[in-house]
């Protein structure tokens, strides 16, 4: 089940020669309920690429959403992406969604 989503984040950078992961601003992680080390699916709105990686904590308040390692070939700085965390469960759960602006600042939060 979808547990959390950061919707339309802007890629702030790509680092091919870096340990693979996505680095996300700590404040965004907390708002979305995504954990450091969690496996996430990322969908690139600009080119349709979808891939899985794991999460690194970025500095709080920086708005960083950096794609690292091999996945850096699937995104460019400025691309819009959707970051999704899932939970294996036999029970229905409510997903927490964080909508962000072009600077990866929270515009709206809701649960559905």
Catalytic residues: 21, 54
Q: Which residues is 37 bridged to in the sheet?
A: none
Q: What is the CA radius of gyration of the chain?
A: 13
Measured in degrees and rounded to the nearest 5, phi and psi for residue 75 equal -140, 155
Residue 30 contacts by C-beta under 8 Å, 6 or more apart in sequence?
A: none
């Amino acid at each position: 089940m979808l547990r959390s989503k950061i919707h339309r984040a802007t890629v702030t950078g790509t680092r091919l020669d870096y340990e693979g992961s996505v680095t996300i601003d700590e404040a965004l992680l907390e708002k979305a309920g995504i954990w450091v080390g969690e496996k996430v699916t990322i969908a690139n709105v600009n080119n349709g690429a979808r891939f899985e990686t794991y999460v690194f904590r970025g500095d709080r308040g920086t708005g960083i959403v950096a794609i690292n390692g091999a996945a850096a070939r699937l995104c460019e700085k400025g691309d819009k992406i959707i970051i999704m965390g899932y939970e294996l469960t036999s029970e229905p759960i409510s997903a927490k969604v964080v909508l962000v602006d072009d600077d990866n600042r929270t515009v709206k939060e809701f649960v559905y």
